[in-house]
Structure 1
Amino acid sequence: MPGDGGQIATRYGRITKVLLKTRSGEFDLESIHSLNLRELGISDLGCISECASLERLNLARNDISKLTKLAGLNNLTQLNLSANRIVSLEGLQALDSLQHLNLVGNLIGSIDSLRCLTGLDKLKTLRLCDRTHDLSNPVCMNRNYRTDMISMFPNLEWLDGEKLIGRGSEVFQLCQKIEEALEARQESESLSHLPKPSKWVPDEYWEPSNKFEESILSDASEELEALLMSCKYTVNKSEDTLNTLKESSKS
């Protein structure tokens, strides 16, 4: 039966009641809590809004470009829209319960396109780029993408698989510093291969300096080492406490 539902979606490209009932096994649309509609050739969300109790929805790898019909899904907490043809996120701003949103592999081109999501107070995880599977969005190519996203979504806990808040976030931030410093050094080194102009300024004026990048790398390395040492100390202390408790229980 699930296969028949898939054929219906592929043939017409539109979500129907028959498809929803077939894929979920539920007779009443309002009883559906979880739906997997991955790779069914869907381009029209049809009657999806009638699934009023829906909490988890997977629409990955379809042909979706408009999201306005999702607006009625007030209980939705997890939404996977990866690998579609989405440019505008209009409609998602009504999903007040949304906590996890996957948008990798779409056509979102600017930070402004994401502003409609800023009112989603429960949003914890947002993914626009997946380097592992080589899926992204044009907006991710922006040099200030990460900084702008953190500024726009101060309560976000995870961005593109990177932890921003809570335990472990310091390691991600240090790695980001190191990565940025390495990129700056590479740019600086590439400049050293450019032809030098005529000598109307001192020779050393055109020589790229790596002192700033080296300083950042050194500081980041020290911070990372201190963090790792702190973790090691915590682990050792925990082991000592555990051993003490074991000895105490024996006696």
Structure 2
Amino acid sequence: MEGGSATVITRQMMKSQSREFDLESIHSLSLRSQNISGLGCLGECVGLERLDLSFNDVTKLFSLAGLTNLVYLNLAANRISSLDGLQSLDNLQKLNLAGNLIGSLDTLRCLSCLEKLRDLRLQDTTSGLSNPICMNVTYKSDVTTMLPILVILDGERLKGRGSDLFKLYEQLDEELKESNETPRGAEDLGGAGSWVPSDFWDKRNTSPQKAVLLDAEQQLRELLKNCEDLSKSAAGKIQEWEENR
């Protein structure tokens, strides 16, 4: 990462960023783009439920092992090649690893014991973030086979009604490839939109119950919007296909 000398997380840094007096009171912490290379005493924030360490210089994750209350973890755009330390995060539901150095399926194997993990991101095309593993054309099927509990991978729903629309769209797109036209709405499928709601790291939004409700509402809104867009696009493609037969 560009910037001055590397930074190690300190108690004062965490208190300042969270505006909390006690480390035990910190439930949500954003340390994005702080030139952090060492996690320092981060493990003392045992009450943490949401943590953003994106766009730093982190390589080791051992200090996260004690944060068993973590539900959301953003590690995008670091230099992580090993996930050792994450296997103990029993409550983790949402994990962003886009833009790191993960090169093999074996590196992800430690996530298979996380029974609550539902949303995993290894690639974010809208931000140009990826991992070496994503160069393998079968990586999505390999990851979903190893982690069958996943509902969302790289922003695309793998299960539920939304996934059926994605599959329908892909089938229609395949049939229309011979026309060399870019399907309308394809740009919507390239990225996944915002990884979390815009007020996710707002200090006023620290209640665990409120966080769950806000996240559920955000996912519902995104799903409904995707369903609406894909339905319109699919209808248009069907009409075009019938007219050109």
Deviation at 1:172, TM superposition (A): 1.7
Larger Rg over CA atoms? 1
Distance 1:130 1:156 in 2: 17
Q: Does 2:82 align with 1:88?
A: yes
Structure 1 residues 126 and 24, CA gap change in structure 2 (3 angstroms): same
Per-residue CA deviations over 1:45-78 (Å, capped at 9, x if unaligned) read 0001100110000001000000010000010000
Per the alignment, do residues 141 and 178 of structure 1 end up closer, same or farther by CA in structure 2, a change over 3 Å counting?
Answer: farther
Q: What is the aligned residue count?
A: 182
The one of 157, 160, 170 equivalent to 1:166 is 160
Correspondence for 1:26 among 20, 25, 31 = 20
Match of 1:132 in 2: 126
Distance 1:158 1:76, change over 3 A: same
RMSD of aligned C-alpha atoms?
2.5
Give the alignment's TM-score, normalised by structure 1.
Answer: 0.67
SS in 2 for 1:43: strand
Higher relative contact order (CA 8 A, sep 6+): 2
Equivalent-residue separation in structure 1 for 2:87 and 2:20 (angstroms): 28
**Equivalent in the alignment of 1:76:** 70
Runs of 4+ with >2 A deviation: 173-183
The alpha-carbon deviation at position 178 of structure 1 amounts to 5.8
The residue that corresponds to 2:60 in the other structure is 66
CA separation in 2, counterparts of 1:149 and 1:180?
A: 23
Counterpart code for 2:57? D
Q: Does 2:44 correspond to 1:46?
A: no
Overall identity of the aligned pairs, in % = 57
CA offset digits 1:163-201 (Å, max 9, x no partner): 011121112223445667889xx9xxxxxxxxxxxxxxx
Q: Which structure 2 residue ranges, 5 or more long, are not aligned?
A: 181-229, 236-245
Question: Measured at CA, do residues 104 and 12 of structure 1 come closer, stay the same or move farther in structure 2, by a change above 3 Å?
Answer: closer
Aligned partner of 1:102 among 78, 88, 96: 96
State the one-letter code of the partner of 1:90: D
Q: Which has the higher helix share?
A: 1
Go from structure 1 to structure 2 and tell me whether the alpha carbon gap of 1:18 and 1:12 turns closer, same or farther (over 3 Å shift).
farther
